[in-house]
């Protein structure tokens, strides 16, 4: 096996193990999937629901079944001519007692063999942390913990050692601080019992002698002296740029690849690494080196590597990466944007401005969020960057007139507008594109914040970035020292900008800014509301030319809402007036008038969008049990949304009263005596739902046929109206999906699938039939050409058409877009099907050499022979809303 034909993402945990995945192999094989794409399989924190909190990267998780279960899964997949792609986590590990490397650092401090495996600053500016590591895991201050008896000394029988216990967690004691003596264990514990003043003083003195400093979790943002994953203080950064660390972290996936048990890797949070480009090149080389050990049939396969990387609008992966592409957030954004009507943007922005009482453009929301995150949530990381920059430039500071305060002001402004996740200045190598991004952001910062001193601000930033991007030769005065300082400053900057970007936009602004929530998605930006068909084609052509084996996704475990929720909400862009009237009507509900400040009204406006987007198609108003289950899912989303927004509440300082008031309002709306309002909401949803389903099928077909490797997120072969995690990681009803697939193999008519469209089987049918075609003509989809087709006629702007061709085979794809009005005009069917009248006099135009061919519709089974190069859309889309036709070799 080489590049996957199509992947299926599975989330593993104790509730869905490797053995459970093994049971689904025949189902996914029948669907046409070539590889299972597994969430992290290594040992994680006990009870982990996702596997990204790794405690031991060298073994397969015992909770998942261990290596024997993994080998059995791999063998069963091979028997079905399938393989495995693994999700690995090189950036961080859990700072948890189950992590023996971390435990050893707490026990031995800088003397630990793992002291430099983690990204720890042993020379912190905090005097109390010199030579120590902060452990910010206490539920309250140390003194408060001691007062209430939740911080104490205990004896561990298994290790025959004394340990510290806090809130159920354990911490080691350095051996010499409390050795076992002739005193009994009970006597030693009594001597350190905080119930007595002498015992408390003795215990506090013992704590002060450790290699770590226990502190309140709230202090992490101001004190922490190690790199975290984003702002999560339970996940510590790992230094895989060091050879020994790389070898240890990757020993398992490298061995599994060499044994032929896996075919590729997905790299989690690659932008968190100190040197992502070097890392990817090294990983690819090590995998290739292991190829000689693979079974004969697999020996010549290229390891497939994709990186979790969010690309800005004008950003691309270049040849320095040595990977096959990204995990598909870029395509997810493009496929969603092309389904939005640009004519609705201004009206929706005006509606949002009125409701939120904020007239600022969208980008101002992001600048404000970045400043908040920088000064409160990443304060310690930002201070470390300033110190690193000052250490670098102090040699020339007097010459330029720079001060630390001036650098602080300049960097605050620069980081507020930096347009991409990060640059890639590594090992003395600066690419012109990276320097261009830095200088462009410097120009934007000086223009936006200059206020009369824009020239000096620009000069300072330009000078800083030229210092960063210019290697220092060892022969220059203090060259070796200055080069080390330069690389440290580069790492500080490049490892700060990714979490700052993600937490500011995805985990703050996307919960504050509610113009249209379908565009608030991972991989999307505030400035890109919609995408033209021409731009969509251009980006597909670029992917074919540069990343033809990149993953393309429309649903992930990180998404803010399900792919079909986004598709339904996109319809609002076609009817902003009706939406404004309906939402204003709902917001006037008496239950929403209590304390109706603008920020609270904005929260409710986003709640109403969430309800409209996520209401299950099979949920009726008289289903009390179903409404109750759905309401609790919404309540979970509501609390998370309030805390992520950081306005009325937050994770750091939750306003429990406001959260409870919002949840009670939600329950009153959904379960109380507001039957008329619920009926009004459902009528509006019913008006959108068929057009939303057409969008969903269009998005699905695009994912399955454009250049790239399509991924199927678990369970989304039925409708996906999920909310943000943990809702999107719920258990999947595979039995229902297997039964539906078995029924599909009986070849039901397309009319029957359309009639039952609400049950989701129509979506599964499209996936299975297109994947069957991909297996039939893999050369067309792997390396075949991509030709955008002209769609002309009265409805020409309402369809996307393109041709994939390889050898003598050709595949024609036609999908609709922006068709709510056409469906509303032809009311009555309630089906996701656009009337024939709408498509009359509209044609997709084939290249001349493709005329006079027979085409078989992979979805309906219809056969067509077209004499002309003009293909009437009323013929192609008459029976089914999307079309995928194959013209075989003669």
Contacts of 653 (CB under 8 A, 6+ apart): none
**C-alpha closest to that of 412 among 453, 455, 452, 441:** 441
Long-range Cβ pairs for the range 667-676 (8 Å, 24+): 667/631, 667/635, 668/591, 669/589, 669/591, 670/627, 670/630, 670/631, 670/634, 671/624, 671/627, 671/628, 671/631, 672/591, 674/589, 674/591, 675/621
Contacts of 861 (CB under 8 A, 6+ apart): 747, 750
Q: Which residues pair with 606 in a beta bridge?
A: none
* Res 458 pLDDT > 90: no
pLDDT band at 403 (very low <50, low <70, confident <90, very high): confident
Side by side, the strands of the sheet bearing 151-156 are 151-156, 161-166, 169-172
CA distance 734 to 356: 42
In the DSSP assignment, the letter for residue 324 is S
pLDDT of residue 1: 54
* Contact assessment for residue 352 and residue 529, using Cβ atoms and an 8 Å cutoff: no
* Res 696 pLDDT > 60: yes
Percent of the chain with pLDDT over 70: 97
pLDDT of residue 594: 63
* Contact assessment for residue 3 and residue 709, using Cβ atoms and an 8 Å cutoff: yes
Which tens digits make up the pLDDT trace of 873-883?
Answer: 999 999 999 99
Does 3.20.20.100 match the CATH number of domain 7-91+240-308?
no
Spell out the domain ranges in the chain: 7-91+240-308, 100-234, 348-468
pLDDT band at 754 (very low <50, low <70, confident <90, very high): very high
CA distance 550 to 305: 9
CATH of 100-234, one of 3.40.50.10490, 3.10.450.50, 3.30.1590.10, 3.40.50.1000: 3.30.1590.10
CA distance 37 to 10: 6
Span 606-614, mean pLDDT?
99
Strand 853-857 relative to strand 169-172, pairing? unpaired
**C-alpha closest to that of 633 among 729, 563, 699:** 729
Helix (H, G, I), strand (E, B), or coil: what is residue 536? helix
| Structure tokens, 440 | 């462009």
* Contact assessment for residue 218 and residue 181, using Cβ atoms and an 8 Å cutoff: no
Which tens digits make up the pLDDT trace of 816-869?
Answer: 999 999 987 655 578 999 999 999 999 999 999 898 899 999 999 999 999 899
CA distance 639 to 445: 35
Mean pLDDT: which of 8-12, 157-161, 318-322, 431-435 is highest?
8-12
Indicate the range of 38-42, 219-223, 453-457, 756-760 predicted with least confidence.
Answer: 453-457
Helices H, strands E: what count in the chain? 32, 27
Residue 51 burial (CB count, 10 A): 23
Helix (H, G, I), strand (E, B), or coil: what is residue 82? coil
CA distance 741 to 724: 27
Helices 624-645 & 598-614, crossing angle to 10 degrees? 130
The number of angstroms, rounded, from the C-alpha of 789 to the middle of its chain's C-alpha atoms is: 32
CA distance 193 to 201: 9
Q: Which residue has the tokens 């608030």?
A: 520
Which tens digits make up the pLDDT trace of 316-346?
Answer: 898 899 999 999 999 999 999 999 999 999 9
CA distance 60 to 41: 6
| Structure tokens, 328 | 């598909």
CA distance 341 to 570: 8
pLDDT band at 482 (very low <50, low <70, confident <90, very high): confident
- pTM: predicted TM-score of the whole model, two decimal places: 0.95
Half-sphere CA count of 598, side-chain side, radius 13 A: 12
Which tens digits make up the pLDDT trace of 795-812?
Answer: 999 999 999 999 999 999
Does the fold of domain 100-234 match that of domain 7-91+240-308? no
304 phi, psi to nearest 5 deg: -90, 120
Strand 863-866 relative to strand 809-816, pairing? unpaired
Mean pLDDT of the chain: 94
Which tens digits make up the pLDDT trace of 556-574?
Answer: 999 999 999 999 999 999 9
**C-alpha closest to that of 687 among 675, 677, 676, 679:** 679
| Structure tokens, 743 | 């029924």
Provide the strand spans (E) within 103-196.
Answer: 133-138, 151-156, 161-166, 169-172
Q: DSSP labels for 394-445?
A: HHHHHHHT--HHHHHHHHHHHHHH--SS----BTTB--HHHHHHHHHHHHHH
Q: How many residues does the chain have?
A: 890
| Structure tokens, 752 | 């029957």
């Amino acid at each position: 096996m080489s590049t996957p034909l199509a992947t299926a993402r599975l989330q593993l945990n104790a509730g869905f193990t490797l053995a459970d995945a093994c049971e689904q192999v025949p189902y996914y094989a029948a669907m046409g999937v070539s590889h299972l794409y597994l969430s992290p399989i290594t040992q994680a924190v006990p009870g982990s629901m996702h596997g990204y909190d790794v405690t031991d990267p060298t073994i397969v998780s015992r909770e998942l079944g261990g290596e024997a279960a993994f080998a059995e899964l791999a063998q069963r997949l091979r028997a079905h001519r399938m393989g495995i792609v693994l999700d690995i986590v090189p950036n961080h590990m859990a700072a948890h007692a189950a992590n023996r490397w971390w435990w050893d650092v707490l026990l031995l401090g800088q003397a630990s063999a793992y002291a430099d495996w983690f990204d720890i600053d042993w020379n912190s500016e905090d005097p109390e942390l010199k030579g120590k590591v902060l452990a910010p895991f206490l539920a309250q201050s140390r003194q408060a913990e001691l007062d209430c008896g939740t911080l104490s000394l205990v004896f561990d029988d298994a290790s025959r050692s004394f340990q510290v216990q806090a809130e159920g967690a354990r911490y080691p004691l350095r051996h010499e601080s409390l050795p076992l003596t002739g005193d009994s264990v009970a006597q030693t514990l009594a001597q350190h019992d905080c119930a007595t003043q002498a015992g408390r003083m003795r215990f506090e003195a013992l704590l002060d002698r450790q290699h770590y400093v226990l502190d309140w979790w709230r202090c992490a943002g101001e004190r922490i002296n190690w790199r975290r994953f984003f702002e999560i203080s339970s996940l510590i950064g790992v230094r895989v740029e060091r050879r020994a660390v790389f070898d240890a972290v990757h020993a398992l996936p490298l061995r599994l690849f060499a044994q032929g048990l896996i075919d590729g890797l997905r790299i989690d949070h690659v932008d968190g690494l100190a040197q992502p480009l070097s890392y990817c090149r090294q990983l690819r080389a090590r995998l290739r080196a292991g190829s000689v050990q693979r079974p004969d049939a697999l020996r010549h396969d290229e390891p497939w590597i994709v990186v979790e990387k969010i690309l800005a609008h004008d950003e691309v992966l270049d040849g320095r990466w040595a990977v096959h592409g990204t995990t598909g957030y870029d395509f997810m954004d493009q496929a969603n944007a092309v389904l939005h009507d640009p004519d609705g943007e201004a009206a929706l922005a005006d509606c949002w401005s009125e409701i939120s009482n904020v007239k600022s453009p969208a980008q101002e929301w992001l600048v404000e969020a970045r400043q908040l995150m920088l000064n409160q949530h990443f304060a310690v990381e930002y201070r470390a960057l300033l110190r690193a920059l000052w250490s670098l430039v102090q040699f020339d500071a007097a010459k330029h007139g720079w001060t630390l305060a001036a650098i602080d002001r300049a960097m605050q402004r620069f980081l507020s507008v930096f347009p991409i996740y990060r640059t890639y200045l590594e090992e003395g190598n600066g690419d012109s594109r990276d320097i261009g991004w830095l200088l462009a952001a410097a120009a934007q910062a000086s223009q936006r914040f200059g206020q009369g001193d824009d020239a000096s601000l620009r000069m300072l930033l330009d000078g800083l970035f030229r210092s960063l991007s210019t290697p220092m030769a060892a022969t220059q005065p203090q060259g070796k020292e200055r080069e080390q300082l330069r690389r440290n400053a580069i790492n500080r900057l490049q490892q700060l900008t990714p979490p700052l970007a993600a937490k500011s936009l995805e985990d703050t602004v996307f919960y504050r800014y509610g113009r249209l929530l379908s565009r608030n998605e991972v991989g999307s930006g505030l400035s890109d509301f919609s995408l033209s068909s021409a731009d969509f084609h251009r980006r597909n052509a670029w992917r074919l030319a540069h990343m033809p084996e990149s993953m393309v996704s429309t649903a992930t475990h990180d998404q803010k809402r399900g792919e079909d929720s986004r598709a339904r909400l996109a319809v609002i862009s076609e009817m902003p007036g009706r939406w404004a009237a309906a939402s204003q009507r709902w917001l006037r509900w008496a239950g929403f008038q209590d304390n109706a400040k603008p920020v609270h009204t904005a929260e409710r406006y986003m709640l109403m969008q969430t309800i409209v987007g996520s209401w299950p198609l099979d949920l009726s108003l008289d289903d009390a049990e179903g409404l109750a289950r759905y309401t609790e899912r919404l309540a979970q989303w509501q609390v998370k949304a309030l805390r992520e927004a950081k306005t009325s509440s937050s994770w750091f300082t939750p306003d429990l009263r406001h959260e409870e008031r919002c949840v009670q309002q939600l329950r009153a709306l959904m379960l109380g005596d507001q039957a008329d309002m619920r009926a009004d909401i459902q009528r509006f949803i019913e008006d959108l739902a068929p057009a939303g389903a057409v969008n969903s099928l269009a998005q699905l077909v695009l994912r399955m046929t454009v250049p790239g490797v399509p991924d199927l997120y678990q369970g989304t072969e039925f409708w996906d109206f999920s909310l943000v995690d943990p809702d999107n990681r719920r258990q999947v009803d595979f039995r229902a999906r297997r039964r539906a697939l078995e029924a599909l193999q009986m070849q039901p008519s397309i009319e029957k699938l359309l009639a039952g469209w609400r049950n989701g089987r129509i979506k599964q049918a499209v996936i299975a039939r297109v994947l069957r075609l991909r297996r039939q003509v893999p050369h067309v989809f792997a390396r075949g050409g991509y030709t955008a087709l002209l769609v002309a006629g009265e409805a020409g702007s309402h369809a996307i058409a393109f041709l994939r061709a390889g050898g003598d085979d050709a595949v024609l794809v036609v999908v609709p877009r922006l068709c709510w009005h056409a469906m509303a005009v032809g009311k009555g069917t309630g089906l996701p099907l656009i009337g024939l009248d709408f498509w009359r006099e509209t044609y997709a135009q084939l290249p001349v050499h493709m005329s006079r061919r027979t085409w078989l519709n992979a979805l309906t089974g219809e056969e067509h022979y077209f004499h002309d190069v003009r293909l009437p859309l009323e013929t192609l889309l008459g029976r089914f809303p999307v079309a995928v036709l194959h013209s075989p070799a003669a």
